A and B are shown apart, each in its own frame.
Chain A
Amino acid sequence: MRLNRPRRHDIVGTLRRGRATGARRRTTVLGAVFAVVAAVAFGSNAGAQAATSEGLLCEQNAQQTFSLTARSGYISTPDGNSIYMWGYGMSAGNFQLPGPVLCVTSGRTVTVILHNDLPEATSMLFPGQSAVKANGNPAQPQFDSGGSLTSMVQPASAAGGSVTYTFTAGSPGTYLYSSGTDVTKQQQMGLYGTLVVRPATASAQVNDRADSAFSPQHEYVYLLSEVDPDVHLAVERNQPVDWSAYNARYYLINGRSMPDTLAPNNASWLPSQPYGALVHIKPYDAATNPLPAVIRYVNAGRVNYPFHPHGSDERVVNKDGRALQGTDPTAPQDLSYLKYDIDVMPGQTVDALMDWRDVEHWDPTTNPIPTEIPVITDQLLVGADTWFSESPYLGQKGTFPSNITVNNECGEYYHVAHSHALQQATNYGAAFGGMMTVFRIDPPAGCPTS
């Protein structure tokens, strides 16, 4: 897939075809906003080329020491909106959403130094880790002199404070880190990120079980969250927030909404949203491609996100950093299970292995499908571009009308994966957006152009 331009054109096309007059009105208004934001965003990155990068981008070092800064910035949404956010970024870097994916090894000490550039105190919680300390003292909830809770853990004070957290990395798996101060607001503003804890002896396994092995080139984090733009506007303008009117309008995977979720990591047109969510695999093959991909689901929001991958089940092997297994001391029983919808609760993490298996091997000459594909005039092509190949066969590509932008390279397959609370799979109500991404399955020999 060639993603060398902003995908916003696509979503505008989606809105147009959606014949939603209200949505169209919104697009017009937001279009003006977008023009301003685009000028700033692209201007500041003029000449920058995004590397075509997919999958998990780890922040890691031998000392397992990370210096993070909580600061404010902006993200953009596919319908052209611009949202004021707070987020964790590398202190040597810039604002980003979500926070960096910190990759560490189970059982070893981790140090996180938090600097606070925000106008209020903030902190970090590390659920699932052991011996968590703040500036050398046990991590503890904080109370004022009247006994009222002020923070769930020792914070860094506003506008320049800092605090150093240390902990021993917990059992292998995936964890959410997030603010423990003014949590309703700071979670909504974007203070969250993912901690990946790898087994001490086998880094390409989800946990200590050999049957949790995955292909290291096909490791993905899906950090799920949501945004009510009214809250963010109020905070940006230093106005009171009416939480009783809370209503999320944007639903994010790794800080992006569909179709921005398909853009590569570090896309230049998404300067503060560095993480993509495109899964890019080949069919399972016992000899040449035996290992599954892994998707690490993390819910940083306030409601369940029931995530539905099309086309293949996923095997849930880990929850909240713990292997799904029995209590047999010598050979713990396998309690993993297959799912076609992974309903992730707030604060929960779910690690799932996924592959795609060509069980039918449909072939136009040796094993043709027994139904007829309608001619192009009997199809409804939505929008001005498409991903599918006009062929049912993997690695085959049909012909398209010249007015269609074809994103399909070589007859590769595409399946969507999205929240099945379908209002979450929209951008402010417009379908084919929000908490949605795409799984790309290349032919076994790969795409010649990719």
Chain B
Amino acid sequence: MNDDPRSVPDDRADDRADDRADDHADGRPTRGGLGRRAVMLGGAGAIGSVFLGTRLSFGQPTQRPTVVRPAATGNVKSVHLVGTDGWVSMPAGSPPDLPFFPDSLAPDGFDTYVFGFRDVTQMSTAAEVAAVRGKAQVSAPMLAFDEGDEVTITLSNLGLLMRPDLFDGHTLHWHGFVNAIPLFDGVPELSLAVPIGRDLSYHYRPHDAGTYMYHCHFEDVEHVQMGMTGMVFIRPAQNRTPVNGDPIGTKYAYNDGDGSTRYDREFAFMVTELWSAAHYRDAHIQVSDWTDYAPSFWLLNGRGYPDTIAPPGDPRTTAAGRLQYQPISSLIRCNVNETVLLRLSNLGYQNHAFTLDNVDMQVVAKDAALLRGRDGTTNYQVTNTVDIGPGESRDVLVTPRRAGEYLLYDRNYAYLGNGGGTGWGGMMTVLRVGAAETYGPQTEPNT
């Protein structure tokens, strides 16, 4: 949708170096210092916005929504994502692992180089979009759609601020989506890939409710590990026609027909590991042998404990400090006797086993498929430990009967540390159960 696709200059190293210095000298983003490339990309974004059609006005919320707000007309929904690089922060006090961690090139407050996505759907100017280059977030913006939506996701490749020598493409792979158009699958050898300075509008028509995930499939082992991973889930048509006399507004995880997947609150968890050495090597123009994979941090929604329970943030402001680009909180809150839906998706390369102390977990779906046979036999599984392999998802219902604090954590204790340090860390978060009516109705996942 660029007016002249061949107009992208191919030698912008100096501009990018300038951008880098300007943007992160004090660890905060600036709106100045845009290179010519960034301006050009902004132009492409503006044209893309026109193409995307009607937008709804949401005003400027003080708290950025957890889930991306599409531009929508009825069930026609459009999202604009960008792919770029950036810097994030592992939990304070993580021991050094020099030269890999903390990264000597990291701006103040940050320690780890990443690739990632950003949501620019609601950005109104081209300059705003262009300024996102070098400011990726991890985990990626959370996406949610309704069954039957007409979904267009435009992906723009803003390039890598730290690595002007690379010409990596980016793609979007909707993992688990029953895909009628392989061209939009995101595997660059078998479908389209987006070069730097270009964009591509993916079209999806989700028919099956459930918990999915999305990630870049370009140089997959690298780009996924670098942070281009996010949650996407589909809300069932049954939400519009509640069953069992449930009131309008009742939420279900699936079209269960019997209300058995009804929930009051939902929390989604992108499960990943982070291999500091590989992130360092990508920042320092070196190469990893991916078969040496040896992660050093274990993350929920891009954060290690105790950052997992810190409040949600907004990548557009510095309010969250060093967690600016890790905006998604994993703190679970509910009132006693409410049912909480936990959506778990694993885009790490290791198996994980999540234990919730003192509260039963009921697994109702795996890989976005209700555990129900073709003859209607329900096979939900009650357990205290939910296993999840790389590329899998789980939908789990919990109904705490007593107020209190409960830990949700990886039962593999080797993954409960940060960078080999002492103390608690890694894949752990808290389920905080209040007395009745402690918390008002949930308006956003993960809040």
With beta carbons under 8 angstroms apart, the residue of A306, A310, A313, A338 that contacts B392 is A306
| Binary contact track B1-16/A, C-beta < 8 Å → 1, others 0 | 1100110000000000
Please state if A423 and B291 are interface contacts (CB–CB under 8 Å). yes
Give bound CA distance, A382 to B168, whole Å. Answer: 10
With beta carbons under 8 angstroms apart, the residue of B288, B351, B389 that contacts A429 is B288
With beta carbons under 8 angstroms apart, the residue of B5, B287, B366 that contacts A22 is B287
Please state if B189 and A313 are interface contacts (CB–CB under 8 Å). no
Give bound CA distance, A243 to B184, whole Å. Answer: 43
Give bound CA distance, A304 to B348, whole Å. Answer: 13
With beta carbons under 8 angstroms apart, the residue of A336, A340, A375 that contacts B367 is A340
Interface magnitude class on chain A: 35 or more
Give bound CA distance, A326 to B190, whole Å. Answer: 40
Please state if B187 and A312 are interface contacts (CB–CB under 8 Å). no
Q: In the assembled complex, how far is the CB of residue B323 from the closest CB belonging to chain A, in whole angstroms?
A: 26
* A204 on the B face (CB < 8 A): no
Please state if B183 and A392 are interface contacts (CB–CB under 8 Å). yes
Our count of residue pairs bridging A and B at CB distance below 8 angstroms stands at: 206
- Chain A residue numbers with a CB within 8 Å of B192 are 373-374, 379-380, 388
Please state if A378 and B195 are interface contacts (CB–CB under 8 Å). yes
Please state if A422 and B374 are interface contacts (CB–CB under 8 Å). no
* A438 on the B face (CB < 8 A): yes
* B185 on the A face (CB < 8 A): yes
Please state if A313 and B369 are interface contacts (CB–CB under 8 Å). yes
Please state if A326 and B377 are interface contacts (CB–CB under 8 Å). yes
Please state if A415 and B190 are interface contacts (CB–CB under 8 Å). yes
Please state if B190 and A414 are interface contacts (CB–CB under 8 Å). yes
* A339 on the B face (CB < 8 A): yes
Please state if B198 and A374 are interface contacts (CB–CB under 8 Å). yes
| Binary contact track A266-300/B, C-beta < 8 Å → 1, others 0 | 00000000000000000000000000000000000
Please state if B389 and A304 are interface contacts (CB–CB under 8 Å). yes
- Chain A residue numbers with a CB within 8 Å of B207 are 359
Please state if A360 and B201 are interface contacts (CB–CB under 8 Å). no
* B73 on the A face (CB < 8 A): no
- Chain B residue numbers with a CB within 8 Å of A358 are 180
Indicate the member of A22, A341, A389 with the most B CB atoms within 10 Å: A341
Q: In the assembled complex, how far is the CB of residue A98 from the closest CB belonging to chain B, in whole angstroms?
A: 21
Given known contacts A306-B391, A334-B373, A337-B371, A312 and B289 CB-to-CB distance under 8 angstroms: no
- Contacting chain B: which of A100-108, A213-221, A364-372? A364-372
| Binary contact track A330-349/B, C-beta < 8 Å → 1, others 0 | 00011111111101000000
Please state if B293 and A423 are interface contacts (CB–CB under 8 Å). yes
Please state if A388 and B180 are interface contacts (CB–CB under 8 Å). no
* B221 on the A face (CB < 8 A): yes
In the A-B complex, the 6 residue pairs with the closest CB atoms: A420-B391, A334-B373, A343-B389, A338-B369, A341-B391, A422-B221
Q: A residues engaging B (CB < 8 A)? A: 14, 18-23, 211, 247-249, 304, 306, 308, 310-313, 326, 333-341, 343, 357-360, 362, 369-375, 377-383, 386-389, 391-392, 413-416, 419-426, 428-429, 431-432, 438
> 24 A-B residue contacts at CB 8 Å?
A308-B391, A310-B173, A313-B367, A334-B374, A335-B377, A338-B367, A341-B176, A343-B351, A343-B389, A343-B391, A359-B178, A374-B198, A377-B6, A380-B193, A382-B189, A389-B183, A391-B183, A392-B183, A414-B190, A415-B179, A420-B347, A421-B349, A429-B291, A429-B292
